[in-house]
Amino acid sequence: MSSLNENNADLGANRGRFVAGDRVQLTDQKGKIYSITITPGKEWHTHKGWIVHDDLIGLPEGSVVSTSAGLKFTAFIPLLTDYVLSMPRGATIVYPKDAALIVGFADIFPGARVLEAGVGSGALTLSLLRAVGPSGSVHSVERREEFAANATSNIENYFGGRPANWSLAIGSVQEQEFDHEFDRVILDMLAPWECVDMAAKVLRPGGVFMAYVATTTQLSATAEALKEDGHFTEPESFESMVRGWHHEGLAVRPQQRMIGHTGFLIFSRRMAPGVEVLARRRRPAKGSYGVAED
């Protein structure tokens, strides 16, 4: 059986043509999306006719297919974004716009050894596994068994089986024992500041620490923990907001709905052992650290 990853990663064999077992995304002329898995002998029924699965096999991606009553759909293999937004959720996912920033700003490279804490529904794990490639590895830690089970199902469904370079542990990341250093530590949890000391111990010099948090309170606590730890560079923080645009001829305007705040990203790098962090020279804003007592 083919998998999403196989079909997206290796177009040399099929050249983007559908095979049995592929998940196919069908989009009608109103933009409504449907997803089916090609199963020989089956039919997909709509309110206006049906599509025979066997008729999809061998068609190139980007084909237009019609039901028996003439209803038309474009057919593609879903992108990772499509899969993530439609997969079953046990916890709030890391949205694709944030996962892309994590992969980019944390520099998740082929061959990287990544420690991830807080697997949730597996959305970020999928992006990390694709970025590290078969020569890299992702070790995920999740406290809640039900979240871990759902994430495992989503990941195995996407890759067509459990990736050989992925491991998952149940419990607290602070209680884990590791026999090697990591290139990157990525945290998606309620209190990442509690894991700064752990991150300093398992990250190699030059390694990247990145945390994904929802509130300014979490952001502040994590930033101060990184500064106080003494093993990390001055943390940097940012968020992303994505606004789509409507374009119909000369009527070009921003869409009324947008993906606004989803979370903050805080980023820092591990200093070499025994090297003192250079203090950032700046004048603090009034009230930054409260009122001094006489």
Percent of the chain with pLDDT over 70: 90
Residue 100 has pLDDT above 70, yes or no: yes
Single out the residue of 177, 195, 175, 197 nearest to residue 186, CA to CA: 195
Instruction: Give the per-residue pLDDT at 289.
Output: 60
Is 124 annotated as a binding-site member?
yes
Task: Assess contact for 52 and 67: CB atoms under 8 A.
Answer: no
pLDDT band at 10 (very low <50, low <70, confident <90, very high): very low
Q: Read out DSSP for 61-111?
A: TTEEEE-TT--EEEEEPPPHHHHHHHS--SS----HHHHHHHHHHTT--TT
Residue 286 has pLDDT above 90, yes or no: no
pLDDT tens string 21-78: 999 999 999 989 999 999 999 999 999 999 999 999 999 999 999 999 999 999 999 9
pLDDT band at 7 (very low <50, low <70, confident <90, very high): very low
Decide: residue 274, CB within 10 A, 0-12 exposed, 13-18 middle, 19+ buried.
exposed
Sign of CA dihedral 37, 40, 42, 48: positive
Instruction: Give the per-residue pLDDT at 259.
Output: 76
Q: Is residue 142 helix, strand or coil?
A: strand
pLDDT tens string 237-262: 999 988 889 898 999 999 888 777 88
Residue 269 has pLDDT above 60, yes or no: yes
Instruction: Give the per-residue pLDDT at 288.
Output: 63
Instruction: Give the per-residue pLDDT at 5.
Output: 46
Residue 6 has pLDDT above 60, yes or no: no
Give the integer Cα–Cα distance in Å for 32 and 251: 23
Instruction: Give the per-residue pLDDT at 242.
Output: 87
pLDDT band at 9 (very low <50, low <70, confident <90, very high): very low
Q: What is the mean pLDDT of the chain?
A: 90
Domains of the chain in sequence order: 4-78 (3.10.330.20), 82-269 (3.40.50.150)
Contacts of 7 (CB under 8 A, 6+ apart): 14, 16, 19, 22, 77
Mean pLDDT of 119-126: 95
Instruction: Give the per-residue pLDDT at 124.
Output: 97
Is 123 annotated as a binding-site member?
yes
Single out the residue of 143, 159, 24, 163 nearest to residue 90, CA to CA: 143
Is 188 annotated as a binding-site member?
yes
Task: Assess contact for 205 and 272: CB atoms under 8 A.
Answer: yes
pTM for this predicted structure: 0.84
pLDDT band at 12 (very low <50, low <70, confident <90, very high): very low
Residue 188 has pLDDT above 50, yes or no: yes
Give the integer Cα–Cα distance in Å for 223 and 71: 54
Instruction: Give the per-residue pLDDT at 11.
Output: 35
